[in-house]
Amino acid sequence: MTVLVTGGAGYIGAHVVRLLVRSGRDVVVVDDLSTGTAERVGGAELVRLDVAAPGSAEALARVLRRRGVTDVVHFAARKRVDESVADPLRYYQQNVDGLGAVLRACTAEGARSVVFSSSAAVYGDVAGGLVREDAPTAPVNPYGRTKLVGEWMLRDVAATGALRGTALRYFNVAGAGWPDLGDPAVANLVTRVLDAVGRGERPRVFGTDFATADGSGVRDYVHVMDLARAHVAALDAMAGDAEPYRCLNVGTGTGTSVLQVVAGLSAAMGVPIATEVVGRRAGDPAEVVADPAAIERVLGWRAEETLASTLASAWDAWRHARP
């Protein structure tokens, strides 16, 4: 098995690359290094390429042919909601065209399976409770819509028999499997809190008037190592059965509020954290938590890490990057 990982120099991709390499699999990484770094791929071959650029399908096909790639894990995409709202065409070009190039290369060179990095953003506003894969998909921003279109593309290609596909819908990813692979972006709650505290500021809490136990928004936080293991499990499953396409949530099934995350980070850091409460953000639901029953049933996967270990690992990685 030779696995091509697009976006493998990024936060989540690098964890999957390291797990695959340590399991003895041959790995090649394709990344344009716009957000990732070459040091994260370790000993894997790195091909610098923007998968959404003109001619990328042909360039990817050459890599697949040269390395005898059997399977692909596709991470390469833009993922900031605010950016997608400000520049939707860029997001469709990067996320949809990029996946299209990957699928064209895979079908041309006979790759047998693709794992697609999707998102819980495909669900949009939810009514609360555990969210199953058969819940309505009504994304509320261009980023979420590009992920839903990507799922459709993969499902339709898989239906032709050209390859097998698994779309993994991530919930809130945090933590680090190794200190050198922490999340470098200040774009989610955990890194925003760490960044604010490091600058001597109070992290902002967007609303404490939700219908939740403490009034702050509740989300499902999954450790990046658990997420990486889900990708490996998806690859292994597609090698062993004939199911053409699956779509699976990756989450813990347990909700954690914003204020609970702040308290957990305070415990991990050993310092009190004072917050600034501001108004809700438009479109923020009160609670979004995964129902992980399907992925456990189909792949035998379940989250192993605790919230405390997730937050402690995020703090360790943050300190490692900023000694």
Model confidence at 269, in pLDDT bands (50, 70, 90)? very high
* pLDDT (0 to 100) of residue 127: 78
> Quick one: pLDDT at residue 129?
80
Q: Report whether pLDDT(283) > 80.
A: no
What was the pLDDT predicted at 125?
Answer: 83
Beta strand pairing call for 287-290 and 218-219 = parallel
Would you say residue 128 has pLDDT above 80?
Answer: no
Whether the per-residue pLDDT at 203 is higher than 90: the answer is yes
Give the integer Cα–Cα distance in Å for 86 and 103: 27
CA 173 vs CA 32, 111, 232: distances in Å: 22, 28, 17
Shared domain for 235 and 279, answered yes or no, is: no
23 and 161 fall within a common domain: yes
- The domain in which residue 276 lies consists of 176-220+252-288+295-321
The rounded percent of the chain whose pLDDT value lies above 90 is 91
Confidence bin at 66 (pLDDT 50/70/90): very high
**How many angstroms separate the CA atoms of 33 and 77, rounded?**
12
The distance between the two most distant Cα atoms of the chain, rounded to a whole number of Å, is: 56
Residue 201 sits in the same domain as residue 231: no
Q: What average pLDDT does the segment 132-159 reach?
A: 96
Residues 165 and 182 grouped into a single domain: no
pLDDT in tens, 86-101: 999 999 999 999 999 9
Regarding whether 149 and 242 lie in a shared domain, the answer is: yes
> Stretch 310-314: mean pLDDT, rounded?
98
What is the pLDDT at residue 25? 96
Which distant-in-sequence residues (6+ apart) come within 8 Å of 235 by Cβ? 1, 3, 71, 73, 113, 115
User: Are 228 and 283 in a shared domain?
Assistant: no
What's the mean pLDDT in 143-165? 97
| pLDDT score of 256 | 97
Instruction: Report yes or no: 49 and 32 within 8 Å, Cβ to Cβ.
Output: yes
pLDDT at position 241 over 90: no
Q: Can you tell me the distance from the alpha carbon of 113 to that of 236, in angstroms, rounded to the nearest whole number?
A: 10
Q: What is the pLDDT of residue 11?
A: 97
CATH number at residue 115: 3.40.50.720
Q: What is the pLDDT of residue 255?
A: 96
The predicted model scores a pTM of 0.96
Residues 62-79, mean pLDDT to the nearest whole number = 97
Residue with tokens 């499997």: 177
Residues 167 and 147 in one domain: yes
Residue 199 has pLDDT above 80, yes or no: yes
CATH of residue 315's domain is 3.90.25.10
Q: What total of structural domains would you count in the chain?
A: 2
Same-domain status, 244 and 313? no
What residues pair up with 290 in beta bridges, in sequence order?
131
Q: Has residue 322 got a pLDDT over 90? A: no
Summarize pLDDT for 14-64 with one digit per residue, the tens. Answer: 999 999 999 999 999 999 999 999 999 999 999 999 999 999 999 999 999
Catalytic site positions: 143
197 and 104 share one domain: no
Distance of CA 251 to the CA centre of its chain: 11
Q: Are residues 9 and 157 in the same domain?
A: yes
Kindly state whether residues 167 and 79 are assigned to the same domain. yes
Predicted confidence band at 240 (pLDDT cuts at 50, 70, 90)?
confident
pLDDT for position 130 = 94
Residues 196, 99: one domain?
no
